[in-house]
Amino acid sequence: MKKNMGRTDKIVRLIIAAALLILYATEVVEGTWGIIFLILAGILVLTSLVSFCPLYAPFHLHTNRNKNKQEKVV
Q: What pLDDT score was predicted for residue 74?
A: 44
CB atoms within 10 A of CB 44: 22
pLDDT at residue 36 in the model: 97
Distance CA 45, CA 54 (A): 13
The one-digit pLDDT tens for each residue of the chain (74 residues) are 788 899 999 999 999 999 999 999 999 999 999 999 999 999 999 999 999 999 988 888 888 886 555 555 54
The rounded distance, in Å, linking the Cα atoms of 61 and 74 is: 14
